């Protein structure tokens, strides 16, 4: 059978009681030894004084030894050579263990005095008995007190556990109780609460994203259905059906693009898109992107200027970065009216970093929206973006692509004066 690990409370109590027992036992042993030593020392001192008194009486007047014994109750014997001068009544106690004795040896005589040591032993026994009953009581009290104290100290942990157990994805706004923010449990609770806040924010973002994504997906689906329903209600010519199918396919295209972008962003955020960095020449990359989109600009009779200065190498994943730059240039073409001017350049910044600038002469982005345009599904002008076939994810993907390449995107724009997106990348 496996014994369950004891609770923290039990462990604290046991350690505390064990330490206390050890200390109390050591202390008691010390006291006992000290008391014993000093009792025997004073007994020995008394015997020595007895010896001195007897010696004095013996030297002054031999006959008085009997009277001394009667008067004081001292036990002693005085021997001169091999003659016993005096021996108190019942003296053969000399060898008895209940008596403690001392000898005074002189060339002419020898005095042996003894005193009953039973009172000392009794005192020591009493002391030992007191200790033997008091120590277990003290240890018992320590265990009970320690257990109660540990319970009190650990109570916040129980409260935290109770609250934490009730927290689910739907109640991430709940927080653990913080009894005392300065102590260890308080700090633990605070750290846990911070984690909860982050989780709450992440969940909220996810919820919003899901809601936005559903909304975005529903729009083309609704359009496909209504186009189909209208077409079914009347008979159309072949060209009419062609038109209907054409507009349905347009919506399907938009759906496909949206789903593709959603997948890309989701995988990017989960870190599941492998980013393999290599040395990339930005001039080649910019030339490639602008060649790919040139026809779109030509369709809108826009002028596309490509500026490539000296060699400009960075360390990044070319495929990922190309995706980001394509989105920026695509937006520039999309939002700039016909006959507008679009410029894409590979240059370097004042601080020596590599930069790609995508500039247009379009409507620009109001200052208030400049931070938010990088958010998913955020659009400055809903209708215009939708008409142009945008999914609202282009800049979010661009930002991810640039950051995954170790760079950052800066945006400069004034409403009505065109937009300038600058991608800054550390040079290889």
C-alpha to C-alpha distance for 366 and 234, rounded to whole angstroms: 46
* CB 336 to ligand ADP: min, Å: 7
220 scored as a contact of ligand ADP (CB under 6 A): no
Q: Please, what is the angle between helix 8-60 and helix 118-166, to 10°?
A: 170
CB 244 within 8 A of CB 223: no
Q: Among 156, 220, 324, 363, which residue sits at the site for ligand ADP (rule: CB under 6 A)?
A: 363
Nearer to ligand ADP, 52 or 256 (CB): 256
Q: List binders of ligand ADP among 14-43 (CB under 6 A).
A: none
Nearer to ligand ADP, 109 or 294 (CB): 294
Q: Among 28, 373, 409, 423, which residue sits at the site for ligand ADP (rule: CB under 6 A)?
A: 373
253 scored as a contact of ligand ADP (CB under 6 A): no
* CB 419 to ligand ADP: min, Å: 4
CB 275 within 8 A of CB 404: yes
Q: Among 156, 220, 340, 394, which residue sits at the site for ligand ADP (rule: CB under 6 A)?
A: 394
DSSP label of 319:
H
Count the residues of the shown chain that bind ligand ADP, applying the rule CB under 6 A.
22
Nearer to ligand ADP, 156 or 392 (CB): 392
201 to each of 196, 197, 205, 223, how far by Cα in Å?
Answer: 8, 6, 6, 33
Q: List binders of ligand ADP among 406-425 (CB under 6 A).
A: 419
Nearer to ligand ADP, 91 or 378 (CB): 378
* CB 401 to ligand ADP: min, Å: 12
Angle at 270 between CA 391 and CA 279, to 5 degrees: 85
CB 333 within 8 A of CB 293: yes
* CB 214 to ligand ADP: min, Å: 17
Tokens describing residue 293: 């989109």
Residues 6+ apart with CB under 8 A from 94: 77, 101, 112, 114
Taking each continuous run of H as one helix and of E as one strand, the counts in the chain are: 9, 11
Evaluate the CA torsion angle 128, 129, 130, 135 in order and state its sign: positive
381 scored as a contact of ligand ADP (CB under 6 A): yes
Nearer to ligand ADP, 64 or 307 (CB): 307
Q: List binders of ligand ADP among 303-332 (CB under 6 A).
A: 327, 331-332
Q: Which residues of the chain form contacts with ligand ADP (CB under 6 A)?
A: 327, 331-332, 335, 360, 362-363, 365, 373, 378-381, 385, 390-396, 419
């Amino acid at each position: 059978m496996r014994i369950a690990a004891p609770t923290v409370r039990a462990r604290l109590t046991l350690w505390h009681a064990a330490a206390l027992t050890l200390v109390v036992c050591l202390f008691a042993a010390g006291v006992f030894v000290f008391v014993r030593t000093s009792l025997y020392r004073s007994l020995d001192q008394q015997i020595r004084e007895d010896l001195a008194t007897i010696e004095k009486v013996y030297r002054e007047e031999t006959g008085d030894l009997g009277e001394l014994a009667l008067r004081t109750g001292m036990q002693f014997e005085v021997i001169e050579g091999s003659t016993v001068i005096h021996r108190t009544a019942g003296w053969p106690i000399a060898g008895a263990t209940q008596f403690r004795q001392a000898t005074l040896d002189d060339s002419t005589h020898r005095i042996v005095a003894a005193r009953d040591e039973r009172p000392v032993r009794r005192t020591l026994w009493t002391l030992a008995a007191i200790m033997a009953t008091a120590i277990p009581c003290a240890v018992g009290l320590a265990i009970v007190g320690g257990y109660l104290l540990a319970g009190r100290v650990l109570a916040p942990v129980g409260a935290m556990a109770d609250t934490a157990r009730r927290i689910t994805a739907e109640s991430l706004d709940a927080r653990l109780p913080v009894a005392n923010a300065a102590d260890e449990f308080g700090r633990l609770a605070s750290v846990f609460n911070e984690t909860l806040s982050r989780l709450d924010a992440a969940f909220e973002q996810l919820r919003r994203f899901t809601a936005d994504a559903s909304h975005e997906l529903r729009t083309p689906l609704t359009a496909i259905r209504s186009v189909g329903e209208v077409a079914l209600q009347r008979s159309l010519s072949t060209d009419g059906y062609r038109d209907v199918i054409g507009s349905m396919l347009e919506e399907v295209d938009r759906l496909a693009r949206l789903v593709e972008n959603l997948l890309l962003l989701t995988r990017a955020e989960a870190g599941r898109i492998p980013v393999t960095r290599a040395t990339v020449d930005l001039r080649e990359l910019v030339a490639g992107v602008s060649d790919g989109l040139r026809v779109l600009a030509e369709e809108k009779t826009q002028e596309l200027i490509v500026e490539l200065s000296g060699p400009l190498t960075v360390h990044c994943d070319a495929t990922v970065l190309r995706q980001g730059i394509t989105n920026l240039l695509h937006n520039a073409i999309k939002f700039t009216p016909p006959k507008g001017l679009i410029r894409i350049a590979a240059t370097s910044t004042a601080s020596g970093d590599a930069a790609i600038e995508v500039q247009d002469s379009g409507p620009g982005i109001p200052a208030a929206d400049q931070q938010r345009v990088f958010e998913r599904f955020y659009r400055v002008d809903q209708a215009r973006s939708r008409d142009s076939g945008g999914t609202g994810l282009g800049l979010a993907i661009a930002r991810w692509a640039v950051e995954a390449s170790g760079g950052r995107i800066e945006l400069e724009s004034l409403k009505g004066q065109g937009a300038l997106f600058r991608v800054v990348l550390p040079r290889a």
